[in-house]
Amino acid sequence: MKLNVIKNTRHRNTSRPFYEKDLRDGYCHVVTFAEDGFSMFKAWLEFIYGFSVEEGVMLCAKINEADETGTIWPKGPLTSIPRRFCREGLTKDGDLEALERALADALKANTMHSKCSKMVFDFTCAVSNEERIEAALEKLVQSPEFSSEDVEVTLLFD
């Protein structure tokens, strides 16, 4: 795996994310964060996979309350990490390890289930902890567990 980091994505694409067709067709595994407001996770749940607004809110709540990565597989290659990793400071003992575990679980969801050749970690929408997320994901894609995978990994921030 090799990590490609793209920042300021909104300026590159003012309509819809560049990966929408690949997500819709099942060629791209998208990872974002579980936010029940207007977020990429809820948008894809509703517009691509037909989830109701209420189902999206409940799924976000379930992921955040469990503080664990969640996926909708086998319905589609869409995964979400808990909101706190993108919206709150990582100040408590164990926060960095928990972030790394959440990102590793997303990579495992692709390796074990959807097996897409592309993964997009879409952390657009004023995310905190950009440097820590990028460092944790870079560490993971270089680890023996994932480095041999032939998967294009893109990390998006705005």
Q: Which DSSP string do the residues of 100-141 spell out, in sequence order?
A: HHHHHHHHHHIIIII--SEEEEE--SS-S-HHHHHHHHHHHH
Give the pLDDT confidence of 26-81 residue by residue, as tens digits. 999 999 999 988 889 999 999 999 999 999 999 999 999 999 999 999 999 999 99
**CATH for 15:** 3.40.50.10590
pLDDT for 143 equals: 95
Out of 8-17, 60-69, 99-108, 130-139, which region has the weakest mean confidence (pLDDT)? 8-17
Number of domains in the chain: 1
Which residue has tokens 């974002």? 32
Q: What is the pLDDT of residues 112-141, one digit of tens each?
A: 999 999 999 999 887 889 999 999 999 999
Q: Is 7 helix (H, G, I), strand (E, B) or coil?
A: coil
Task: Look at residue 11 and tell me whether its pLDDT is greater than 60.
Answer: no
Structural domain span for residue 21: 2-156
